[in-house]
Amino acid sequence: MSLIVGLTGGIGSGKSTVASLFLEHGAGIIDTDEIAHRLTQADGAAIAAIRADFGDDFITDDGALNREKMRRRIFSDTDAKKRLEAILHPMILEQARTQIHELQNSPYIILVAPLLPESPAFQKLIQRVLVVDCDEDTQIARVTGRSRMTETEVRAVIAQQTQRARRLQFADDVIHNESSLGNIAKQVAILHEGYSAII
């Protein structure tokens, strides 16, 4: 059984960048955001349930989730957020388990899961927790720079995610992501050596 490391961090912390660096070292990568995206693309496995619960207004003309509309809804409506999670999380968990089985020949597996601190079901899949950490200003600058989200929207996401201090308490390992890509790559290389040595 391969070592499974849960990689988590706040929005804009650099989880995808770190995961791609681990991939270069030969790690198996499972990204729960990518799974969620596939489930909610046109004719994805979650679309029928989302349409039944939220209505046609939240589905685009080509049959995909209207992400912008849903994002606005769940940030203003906690009940809606819970209903969406009740649809998506079991499906994401099932697909993650399937991918873990498929990646058993990898030296170790990185499971990218933004909601890991709040998800006991995902915590049961992993043996270590790796947190990608940076300060809030860095998060906001990255997300507003790469997407159409405003600073207010990014702050709303951060407010709903696990608090930084609690996330760091939850960590076995931390990557500090406030400097150059070369510095991040060095931190990943050190962790790669450590993870490869754990049997």
- Tell me: the pLDDT tens digits for 19-44? 999 999 999 999 999 999 999 999 89
Q: What is the pLDDT of residues 121-162, one digit of tens each?
A: 999 999 999 999 998 889 999 989 888 888 988 888 888 888
Length of the chain: 199
Q: Which of 133, 89, 129 is nearest to 112 (CA)?
A: 129
Asked if residue 193 has pLDDT above 70, the reply is yes
For residue 199, what pLDDT band results from cuts at 50, 70 and 90? low
Q: What are phi and psi of 162, to 5 degrees?
A: -55, 140
Query: Which is it for strands 108-112 and 3-8: parallel, antiparallel or unpaired?
Result: parallel
What region does 26 belong to: left with phi over 0, alpha with psi -120 to 50, or beta? left
- CA 66, distance to chain mean position in Å, is 19
For residue 179, what pLDDT band results from cuts at 50, 70 and 90? confident
Mean pLDDT throughout 44-66?
95
Q: What confidence score (pLDDT) does residue 158 get? A: 85
Q: Which of 47, 14, 1, 5 is nearest to 146 (CA)?
A: 14
Task: Count Cβ atoms below 10 Å from residue 138 Cβ, excluding itself.
Answer: 16
Q: Do the beta carbons of residue 9 and residue 171 sit within 8 Å?
A: no
Q: What is the pLDDT of residues 98-126, one digit of tens each?
A: 999 999 999 999 999 998 998 999 999 99
Rounded Cα distance between 69 and 49, Å, is: 17
Mean pLDDT throughout 13-22?
95
Who wins on pLDDT, 67 or 148? 67
Non-local (6+) Cβ contacts of 114 within 8 A are 8, 9, 10, 11, 15, 32, 33, 161
Proportion of the chain above pLDDT 70, given as a percent: 99
